Structure 1
Amino acid sequence: MEWTGLNELREKFLSFFESKEHMRLPSYPLVPHEDASLLLINSGMAPMKKFFLGLETPPRKRVTTCQKCIRTPDIENVGKTARHGTYFEMLGNFSFGDYFKHEAIAWAWEFITEVLKMPKDRLWITVYQDDDESIEIWNKEQGVPLDRIVRMGKEDNFWEIGSGPCGPCSEIYFDRGEQYSCGKPTCGVGCDCDRYVEFWNLVFSQFDGDGNGNYERLEHPNIDTGMGLERLACIMQGVDNLFEVDTVQNIMKHVARIAGVNYKENEKTDISLRVITDHIRSTTFMVGDGVLPQNEGRGYVLRRLLRRAARHGRLLGITEPFLYKVCETVISENANAYPNLVENKDYIVKVIKVEEERFARTIDQGMQLLNDMIDKLETSDKNFEKVMPGADAFKLYDTYGFPVDLIREIIEERNITLDETEFTRFMEQQRERARKARASMGDLGWEEDVLADIKDKGKFVGYKEVSAKAKVVAIVKDNVRVDQIGDGDFASVVLDVTPFYAESGGQVGDSGSIVTGQNIFSVYDCKKSATGHFVHVGEMGIGVLSVGDEVTASINIERRRDIMRNHTACHLLQAALRSVLGNHVHQAGSMVDDSICRFDFSHFSAMTPQEIAKTEEIVNRMVLSAVPVEVSEMPIAEAKKLGAMALFGEKYGDVVRVCNVKDESIEFCGGTHLDNTSKVGLFKIVKESSVAAGVRRIEAVTGKNVLEYIQENNEILQRTAAILKVGNPNELPDKVSAMVSEHKEMQRQLDEFNAKIAAMQAGNMFENAVDLKGLKFASVGLTGIKPEVLRTMGDQVKSTHPEAVCVLTTINGGKASIMVICGQEAVARGAHAGKIVKAIASLCGGSGGGRPDSAMGGATEIFKIDEAIAQIPSVIQGMIK
């Protein structure tokens, strides 16, 4: 067999199965589409699950893919061994009720022996112990000797997960030679050593299992195969592990150049090189599929990988952000297979660089705190097991963004364990707070079961029609299917035809009415259920509605028009933002209804007033230019040629709907739109804010909502002008400026007056001073005096009364400021202002501290101040030498 590059192997596999009449599908995004059971795609079969389960019809009965995958259960081992990695690609060929064992085995053997030219005498086959059929095919049809076919048990060679399609599997192994053997007499296929490498698994889904060991044969069995691309490359390139495969090695070499080190010279250095190489592959692809660093979900996986890689960069002596540079090598090595990486290169690099910079700003402070915690543990009783409190770990996680896995990894290097139970308790408390803070979204999860047998899900005609004749096919009330509803009943109605847009893609559902004769059902919202049914949610206002009724379904036309204004404006806004801020801007979410256009987008700093004004000006220019808006369906390949922008991580079918604002914006979109930008009317940005790290939000209004916004602001100006007795609102800036200047002058005079009063009181405070072994103790309480005035009084006391210990307090807005002054002689004799103020504040629900001669504190329980000060003479006496 000849040395073959990873990219060439991928193409050879896909081309081979195309020659066997398989449809080549591009890799699905790493973010699962409509599959809540997975955080990230973790196998080649995962995106095909819907086809195997019969939930969707596959595009063809024969399919082949190279699927990008992420797995993180063994992340702690990544780097420590040369085997483990979080990112990999899985080659696969699939049959959905078409061919079965004979073809799957024959083509697998043909590909590896004739296309890749692997030596037959180095190949081994395993089969399920009871699968005589597969053994016969391998032996008699493909010529594999029986002594190279190994029967294995259910644990190794039978694929099933719970109930559903399952079946035996057959695995193909490559013998790397005796030099890789463990040397045991029992060494053979299935041994844990490095000699026999399993690289292709052929799964024969021929049963329907009930999860309790009972199996029925499927009428149309399926084929699901999976082969790790990197593992195959290791075999074809004669290398020991994935980090020595050509494309991966080039990434590692880039890291090594930046760090100024070489691979295989130092084991600790090698661990860091492997960690960084693996993690930058994972994170580049994750960001390319729309994942952003966050503190939960898949965003947390991304942040965790990036920060672990950044820390290992520091272990290599790299103190500046560098991962974003290596990211460019990842992109170039995968450019042909994954062109979306090239298309979004600027964005991917920017996201990774910003996260690196953010981590760099916090890691030093966080690491200092972590090291202090570790030092404290290490200086405790050496015979006692060192355990970091869960509260400390949670503080690092919650305040400094330290992934707990990183904390765990660092402390384990110092032989310290984490109190997992306590940490989990703090995490659960945080999740509970988050759950309580979130309002219920009123999901329609019950629809999946209640409507499962309703085949008519509702034909949507609302792109062109605002009203339609329809038939009621189902009614749901109180989560139960009913035949009829009457006056005042709240319910959900399913029609066979509907003009109502169901909430999706950020656009809210339509409202309107369903009418038959004098019977009226008011539709408040329209949603799409988990089973794909159009569900009209509302209330029966007059009469009754029954299953089977012929009805007229009509949307609220004015509301729909307002929604379309905001939706089309959202597209114009994205084009304007990319023009003003750069091409790294991508939609990160949106919500359009009849009152507002809310658009979330990738950007890494607050927009300046000038940028907001420029964005607004560009959108209104497009509006006033009366640009035609064309919405049409076309093949996805044609849409991409037009340059249509797609949502990150979104999976599209072969035919897509495209909204084209001529020469301004082209986007994939399933929503409803205007036919001309002029119908937006006006566009006004009312708010720009932060949503999450690297994500900003703009809220804007259009059409009549702009007029309402202007009217509301005009009324505010008129009321303000009347209050300030200004005839013309245009004079308000000058009036307010004059009032601010006047206020500042009055405040200055008041501060001077208060300072003089305070000085007088300071001068008199020692008239009733208490003698404490030759020192004078005095206190004075003031109201409405700023803390700065206390400092001035304290300086005066120190300069004139070296033997004094003085407590000064002032109350402002329900809070107290406390200052303690100790003169030079008092300090010499042991008085300490910091300790005194701390003692007072602790008795009043506050805190404080400072130097021996001067200290400040604060308190909230102001009614306890006098009582606390009364105890201070005894505190001072305990200090005096």
Structure 2
Amino acid sequence: AEVEGQAAWPVAAGDGDRRRVPGRVLFTLYDTYGFPTDLAQEVLQDRGFAVTAETQAEYEAEMEAQRERARAKDVFVRSPVGLSAATGLISPNVKQIQPSNVEPYKDLPPTEFLGYQTLTAPARILAMVREDQRRREAVAGDEVEAVLDRTPCYAESGGQIGDTGVLTGRQGRGDILDTQYKSGLIVHRLRVTEGGFREGEDVAVAVESPRRQGLRLHHTGTHLLHAALRQLLGTHVTQAGSLVAPDRLRFDFTHGKPVRDRELERVEDLVNQMVRENLTVDPFETDLDEALRMGAMALFGEKYGRRVRVVRIGDFSTELCGGTHLDATGQVGLFKVTQEGAVAAGVRRLEAVTGGAALQHVGQEEAALREAADLLRIPPLELPRRLQKLLDEQKALEKSLAQIESRLAQGRAQELVAGARAVKGVPLVVARLDGLDADGLRAAADSVRERLGSGVICLASVVDGKVGLVSAVTRDLAGRVHAGKLVQEVARAVGGGGGGRPDLAQAGGKDPSALDAALAGVPAWVERALGG
């Protein structure tokens, strides 16, 4: 295919050098059209042009001039090392003015970030690092850290996770698994899948587009959420951490109490109102003082350079931010809060989804609603009323059951009193009443004590594999036999514990198989207590 403007390519003047290609042409093909330099040289030579050492020197001079322009451009002079994914919303076109001086990245120039304008770009491999050692080459199966002279890949910062994508060369292909800041440089974690790469090679970089779009959706959604929280809950709300992922967002903020359901609904409604209004998302660079004068949100304790990037969303939100964003809020589609909870004292956390992820979440909720409605054979919108009715009926049944159990316990009480044995002249009732819960056991003990007049009671029950125990002592014997100590003795034998007052105590245990033996030892314990 012909490259636009090919007919106007300049060649050097001079009878003996009419067909020499100026280095400026190679640079323009690389910088403007993304044409790999080595491939361009082959094509030009095939067409009769000469690529000489002078051409190469001119090309390198153009590349160095481009790097100098990138260094001199007004950019954020804020070290990426100081960026916190937990606290930052500013990022990433952070170019260190000085080259890295940390081995193995020493003397490498800063990476030019192109990711605001494009998702694909030509680039040159400046270095490849594996196990903290520079590698001249990487072959299929290798995993290396690749530093390029320029990249559209966003390095993780400001809560937004790093880009993934593909790196393609003349003889190799690799997957970009992650993009991070390291030693002040944008570093690509690269797994070579085909062929290989070499240091100095011209390559093409492509960001994984659907994933980046998910990040843009959720980062713009984060700004809308922040502004909505401040408007509805109060200006005390400030960011305390964030995560921007392709499929969800997480936002931590200062707030002294849980966000009520009605407040969450209002936050959702306000964000979705801003989505429907399709507000323009306007990122721009300005001086820090000017950004603060216009009301841009800055993070307390963070250090910013003289020039900062601001993301303004209509008149609704203005924040210092270096992340990637949508062009307009309407692209969010739908915003849905999925979870609210506490992170620490005075810090709440909201999780939310946008776009397709929000539609999927709503679909899952509707499917669960329909499934529950089908089980009850009612329309989905009748579920709340029917569930309330079922809960009321359950409470009534539980109350009736408790009354029945109490009457049964009272009926058994007479039998237990009749079967009491005497220990040193004191009536003792020991019995196992499986099926009674703690309340039922206590009611039974009270009933036996009332009928017994004077004596000691120890009752036990097994429910759902767990042992329940109650001991009771009439007032006249409370000074001689301690109910709390008695129930502790039995509880230890069944792998549990408990205690209580001298006249009434409860306990539990984990080993029903030891219960009969434990109850068999009660008379001897009571005899020792009375003997004392």
Q: TM-score, normalised by structure 2?
A: 0.78
Offset, 1:865:
2.5
Separation of aligned partners in 2, 1:539 and 1:878: 77
Shift of 1:638: 1.0
User: Matches of residues 380-391 of structure 1 in structure 2 within 5 Å?
Assistant: none
Residue of structure 1 in register with 2:528 after alignment: 878
Q: In the alignment, residue 112 of structure 2 is paired with which amino acid?
A: K
| Total equivalences in the alignment | 440
Between 505-514 and 715-724, the greater mean CA deviation after superposition: 715-724
Q: Is the 8 A contact 2:124 2:203 kept in 1?
A: yes
What amino acid maps onto 2:142 in structure 1? Answer: D
The higher relative CO (CA closer than 8 Å, separation ≥ 6) is in 2
Hey, what does 1:367 align to over in structure 2?
Answer: none
The 5-angstrom pairing of residues 482-501 of structure 1 reads 482-501=135-154
After TM superposition, list the pairs within 5 Å mapping 1:91-240 onto structure 2: none
Residue 543 (structure 1) shift:
2.0
Q: Aligned residue for 2:293?
A: 641
Question: Which of 654, 662, 669 is the equivalent residue of 2:306?
Answer: 654
Query: How far did residue 802 of structure 1 move?
Result: 2.0
SS in 2 for 1:783: coil
Q: Match of 2:470, SS?
A: strand
Q: Is the 8 A contact 1:802 1:822 kept in 2?
A: no
> Aligned residue for 2:332?
680
Taking the aligned partners of 1:479 and 1:745, their CA distance within structure 2 comes to: 70
Deviations 1:605-645 (A, max 9, x none): 10111111111111111111111111111111111111111
- Structure 2 Cα separation of the partners of residues 35 and 586 of structure 1: 19
Alignment partner of 2:184: what SS? coil
Q: Deviations over 1:473-496 (max 9, x none)?
A: 122234432222222322221111
Deviations 1:657-702 (A, max 9, x none): 1111121111111111112111111111111111111111111111
CA distance in 2, matches of 1:523, 1:695: 35
The alignment partner of 1:544 has SS state of: strand
Q: For residues 131 and 460 of structure 2, what CA distance do their matches in structure 1 show? A: 63
Q: Distance in 2 between matches of 1:449 and 1:515?
A: 28
The answer (yes or no) to whether the contact 2:81–2:184 under 8 Å persists in 1 is: no
Q: CA deviation at 1:739?
A: 2.8
Match of 1:859 in 2: 509
Q: Of residues 250, 259, 269 in structure 2, which corresponds to 1:598?
A: 250
1:841 and 2:494 equivalent?
no
Contact 1:802 1:826 in 2 (8 A): no
1:701-716 superposed matches below 5 A: 701-716=353-368
The percentage of counterpart residues that share the same residue type is 36
- Amino acid aligned to 1:848: G
State the distance in 2 between where 1:448 and 1:580 align. 48
Alpha-carbon separation, structure 2, partners of 1:616 and 1:832: 60
Q: Distance in 1 between matches of 2:367 and 2:133?
A: 50
- Whichever residue aligns with residue 519 of structure 1, its letter is G
What corresponds to 1:354 in structure 2? none
Letter aligned with residue 346 of structure 2: G
Q: Which residue in 2 is equivalent to 1:757?
A: 408
- Of 188, 196, 202, the residue aligned with 1:544 is 196
| CA gap 1:589/1:539 in 2 versus in 1, 3 angstroms | same
Distance 1:737 1:448, change over 3 A: farther
1:731 and 1:609 map into 2 onto residues whose CA distance is 20
The change in CA–CA distance for 1:518 and 1:736 in structure 2 (over 3 A counts) is farther
User: 2:63 is matched with which residue?
Assistant: none
Change (3 A) 1:557 1:33: closer
Distance in structure 1 (CA, Å) of the matches to 2:475 and 2:126: 91
Contact 1:684/1:701 (8 A) holds in 2: yes
The 2-side partners of 1:849 and 1:656 are apart by 66
Q: Contact conserved, 2:104 with 2:132, CA < 8 A, in 1?
A: no
1:730 matched to 2:377? The reply is no
CA distance 1:491–1:783, shift in 2 (3 Å): farther
Q: Which moved more, 1:554-563 or 1:817-826?
A: 817-826
Distance in 2 (CA, whole Å) between partners of 1:743 and 1:486 is 68
Distance 2:457 2:204 in 1: 85
User: Are 2:121 and 1:468 aligned?
Assistant: yes
Matched with 1:822 is 473
* Aligned CA distance change for structure 1 residues 35 and 504 (closer, same or farther; 3 Å): closer
Q: Among 89, 104, 112, which residue is 1:451 paired with?
A: 104
Q: Closer, same or farther in 2 for the Cα pair 1:661/1:35, shift >3 Å?
A: closer
The answer on whether the counterparts of 1:797 and 1:823 sit within 8 Å (CA) in structure 2 is no
Question: Which secondary structure state, in structure 1, belongs to the residue aligned with residue 279 of structure 2?
Answer: coil
Q: Answer yes or no: is the 8 Å Cα contact 1:644–1:666 preserved in 2.
A: yes
Aligned twin of 2:180:
527
- Per the alignment, residue 230 of structure 2 pairs with 578
Q: Deviations over 1:719-764 (max 9, x none)?
A: 22233333x2223223323333333343334333433433333322
Maintained 8 Å contact 2:104/2:133: no
Partner of 1:556: 208
Distance 2:195 2:414 in 1: 87
Q: CA deviation at 1:850?
A: 1.8
**Structure 1: 5+ residue runs without aligned partners?**
1-31, 37-54, 58-446
Q: How does 1:74-473 map to 2 (within 5 A)?
A: 449-473=102-126
Q: Is the 8 A contact 2:97 2:110 kept in 1?
A: no
SS of 1:722's partner is helix
Partner of residue 514, structure 1:
167
Q: Which deviations, in whole Å up to 9, do the C-alpha atoms of 1:314-371 show, x marking residues without a partner?
A: xxxxxxxxxxxxxxxxxxxxxxxxxxxxxxxxxxxxxxxxxxxxxxxxxxxxxxxxxx
Secondary structure in 2 matching 1:880: helix
Match of 1:718 in 2: 370
Q: Deviations over 1:841-867 (max 9, x none)?
A: 233332222222211112223332222
CA distance in 2, matches of 1:461, 1:34: 20
Question: What residue is the counterpart of 2:432 in the other structure?
Answer: 781
Corresponding letter in the other structure for 1:578: R
Structure 1 residues 608, 476: CA separation in 2 closer, same or farther (over 3 Å shift)?
Answer: same
Aligned AA (1:483)? R
2:269 aligned counterpart, secondary structure: helix
SS of match in other structure, 2:399: helix
TM-score (norm. length: structure 1): 0.48
Tell me if structure 2 keeps the 8 A contact 1:471–1:497: yes
Q: Which amino acid aligns with 1:861?
A: D
1:480 is aligned to 133
CA-atom RMSD, angstroms?
Answer: 2.3
| Mapped partners of 2:147, 2:341: distance in 1 | 39
Q: 1:698 to 1:510 in 2, by over 3 A?
A: same
| Alpha carbons 1:33, 1:651 under 8 Å: kept | no
